[in-house]
Structure 1
Amino acid sequence: MANHLPFGKRVRFYRERRGLHQWQLGELLNRSEDWVYRVESGRVPVNNVKMLADLAEALRVHVEDLQGVPALLDDRDSHKGSIPAIRASLMQSRRLAGPLYDTREPLRLERLDVEVDGAWSLFQNSEYARLSERLPALLADARLATHEHSAGPDRVRALTSFALTCHVTAAFLRKLGETNLAWTAADQGDMAASETADPAIMLALRRCVAHVQLGAGMAAEAVNATHNATADLPFGWWKTSPVALSLYGTLFLNGAVAAARLRDRSTADDMLGRAHEAAERLGTDANEMWTSFGPTNVEIHRLALALEFEDVQNAVDIAPGVRPGRNLPVERRARARLDVARAYGEAGRTDDAAKHLKRAFTTAPEQMRAHEFARDLARRLSQRSQRRDVRELALSLGALK
């Protein structure tokens, strides 16, 4: 019922459903009654994920309830019906072949590798409709490969393909706010990765687990998962190759954001420092094992941390230096532009915020329509500005009805 309301009205809807006055909700959050009023009236944004999680807990709802249904799932995008098929693929027993496998011919492992690469390419190019169409069959094919190959190098290769398929599935579902289903994918991928005994695959899926935990509001668990992931690595392994550096660095970028959401600046700075060291050793922006890792991604996360800590001036100072080049995947470029727009929006620089939000939307429209921060920023900008293009942008993002 509340899904298509603006954020503030959703807060009011769930507050009233729980029978709370504004002052009572404020007390639960250690905030004033006036702050709650301004949130509900749309005058104060809640861009901090920790506060979003605290609001959800106080109102006894899920974070996804406060965020509303992502506009990505509107009828204009064609993959709304793919989520049940993805769920069915993930729920297939490892031992009993279900209807997805009854008439399937096993793919050659070489072909399966190509299909996995293709899925990651679609994800990083923010082509979510095409990706959602492919994932159910790819999950079935990858799982079938683990049935077909029971030992030796081919077994490891099949498990690797299944783990990486689960990884991209989890990343995609997290984008949609389907955190429970994303957890199922991450958990299955993590188990397959463990069986490969390959440090790179295991670290990739450990990072996937932490990423889903972070998306589910489980920041403390994500920090712990980050620390535990590196504890199992061979000594010095992370320095041995571009892949190792990229996986290690990306793990700690996610961990830094998780620590920031716990208001643990020391841990956040330490983890960002580890990622920075890995990026310095790597020396360039790369995309090893679909990590988009390098110096630019570290700067993107430095900006994200400033926003998490509500350090607006620092965010504005960092923003001009965040220049994602075309060598970065579309997904990273769009997210960088969104965070730059958020920084300028928080500083009251409406025109600058609108310019960068428009660039983010042009870069990856499906991704931005799925993002609550993008929709919320567009809604606020449309309230501040009389410009026609700003209102049209908000309409395109699904921020206005």
Structure 2
Amino acid sequence: MTSSDAAPDPLTEPLAFGQRMQILRERRGISRPVLGGLLGKSPSWVKQVETGKLQLPKLPMILRIAEVLRVRDLAELTGDQSMSVAMFIGPGHAKLPAVRDAINRFPLPGDREAPSLPHLRARLDRAWQARHSAPNHREVIGALLPDLILDAHLATRQAQTSEQRRRAQSLLAETYALSQFFLAYQPDSSLLWRVADRGMVAAQESEDPHAIGTAAWLLTQAHRDAGPRDFDAADEVNRAAVDYLRPLLPDADDRVLAIAGALDFELGYTAARRGASGTAWAHWDDAHDKAVRLPPGYYHAVTSFGPAIMGAHAVTVAVELHAGGESVRQAARADAAVIPSHPRRARHRIEEARGYQLDGQPDVALATLEKANAAAPDTIRYNGYARRIILEESEAKSPARRRRAASLATKAGLLAA
């Protein structure tokens, strides 16, 4: 290919919508048949849009295309800067600079005396509890993270024995896990990757199966959220962790069993993103088999895995497979009230809303998003799927639905650029 044949950059050159769509599709490694299937359209429809033979799609379809292509800003797809709305990246939190500084800083052993490992363990437990119980969870953990990151680093550097160092590395890996929840969907993807990588290194240094499984769970999500080209990398990390934990499961404690179940589900989640229905549900079954072996009220602090979450996971699989009817059926079976975590409950409500919209029930979708906002405004504010539904319904033909969407957007700050 000569330089004159190279595809132009949709962010720097004035291109038609279809040209931008084709370039972004190819950058994500998605074929026309796959994109068409995810949109409920034929490959020829995709080709006609890309070549300009069809008119610009209406806003609801533009938003669905943006969702499938994981467009970070709607203007990347439309070329219209007046439509500059963040899709999968939320606003930068006020505490992001302090957390970034703590992550980028490498304290020396003599900076100050590290707290004891039991003290660090207790602080992490309180931080996870605060994350699950606070509707404004990013505000809460953003305030705790800078000191936790510093002290966890100091603990690893000042450890006196190899056993102490391994325990400290496990706590550091868990601190990075908490950091990843704070950083998710914020405008600093390089920092998120730094945290995911460092968490995996610390976990492996700890030689703790639970820490290793948790770090792999988070790294899998980072790869998958990067788009279809990274699905293979997500599966590679995921399967390696599953294989590593498998021989340990007969004698595993609840934490290790839970992280193994969470990893099984992640394989199913990625398969659903690929459109592989049978594989996705088979991995959900594997995860369910582990969930029922856990105590009835068990709830894993990092992954939220446990018996109560499997209904929510079933909704997610159905939604990612774009099966509207099945999504609604699974939503009817799932009981969000048993999910103790405010942010995880809100995330489940958002998945339900996606299912209702897929099933042609936009009013129910908006009502479900209102429940998500009541559970944890901090979750809905940063969620690209919620943002897409709100944007779409703000252009609905029904005046009542438009008003409801506008009211929810105002409450949750979903339209903030």
TM-score by length of 2: 0.79
Deviations 1:91-141 (A, max 9, x none): 234xx629xx74x33212222112111222233335111211221111001
1:142 is matched with 152
1:8 is matched with none
| Equivalent in 372, 386, 389 of residue 360 of structure 1 | 372
Letter in 1 for 2:63: P
Are the equivalent residues in 1 in contact too, given 2:346–2:373 (CA < 8 A)?
A: yes
SS of the residue corresponding to residue 232 of structure 1 reads helix
1:207 is matched with 217
Give yes or no for the alignment of 1:120 onto 2:128.
yes
SS of the residue corresponding to residue 193 of structure 1 reads helix
1:342 is matched with 354
SS of the residue corresponding to residue 293 of structure 1 reads coil
1:38 is matched with 57
Distance 1:154 1:286, change over 3 A: same
How far off is 1:142 after superposition? 0.5
Letter in 1 for 2:15: L
Give yes or no for the alignment of 1:351 onto 2:346.
no
- CA–CA distance in 2 between the matches of 1:55 and 1:393? 20
Give yes or no for the alignment of 1:52 onto 2:47.
no
Deviations 1:365-399 (A, max 9, x none): 01111112112212222332423444211222234
SS of the residue corresponding to residue 293 of structure 2 reads helix
SS of the residue corresponding to residue 57 of structure 2 reads helix
Q: After TM superposition, list the pairs within 5 Å mapping 1:179-198 onto structure 2.
A: 179-198=189-208
1:105 is matched with 113
Letter in 1 for 2:194: T
Letter in 2 for 1:398: G
- CA–CA distance in 1 between the matches of 2:125 and 2:365? 34
- Structure 1 vs Structure 2 CA RMSD: 3.0
Are the equivalent residues in 1 in contact too, given 2:169–2:205 (CA < 8 A)?
A: yes
Q: After TM superposition, list the pairs within 5 Å mapping 1:261-340 onto structure 2.
A: 261-282=273-294, 284-340=296-352
Are the equivalent residues in 1 in contact too, given 2:88–2:383 (CA < 8 A)?
A: no
Consecutive unaligned residues in structure 2, runs of 5 or more:
1-8, 26-31, 33-45
Overall identity of the aligned pairs, in % = 25
Deviations 1:289-323 (A, max 9, x none): 43321233222122112221211121122221121
How far off is 1:271 after superposition? 2.0
Letter in 2 for 1:37: L
Are the equivalent residues in 2 in contact too, given 1:260–1:309 (CA < 8 A)?
A: yes
- CA–CA distance in 2 between the matches of 1:193 and 1:238? 22
Are the equivalent residues in 1 in contact too, given 2:296–2:307 (CA < 8 A)?
A: yes
User: How many pairs does the alignment contain?
Assistant: 371
How far off is 1:335 after superposition? 0.8
2:140 is matched with 130
Distance 1:221 1:170, change over 3 A: same
| Equivalent in 86, 98, 101 of residue 85 of structure 1 | 98
Give yes or no for the alignment of 1:379 onto 2:391.
yes
Letter in 2 for 1:247: I
Distance 1:375 1:66, change over 3 A: closer
Consecutive unaligned residues in structure 1, runs of 5 or more:
1-13, 74-78
SS of the residue corresponding to residue 127 of structure 2 reads helix
Are the equivalent residues in 2 in contact too, given 1:122–1:128 (CA < 8 A)?
A: no
How far off is 1:226 after superposition? 0.8
Give yes or no for the alignment of 1:24 onto 2:34.
no
Are the equivalent residues in 2 in contact too, given 1:26–1:35 (CA < 8 A)?
A: no
How far off is 1:223 after superposition? 1.1
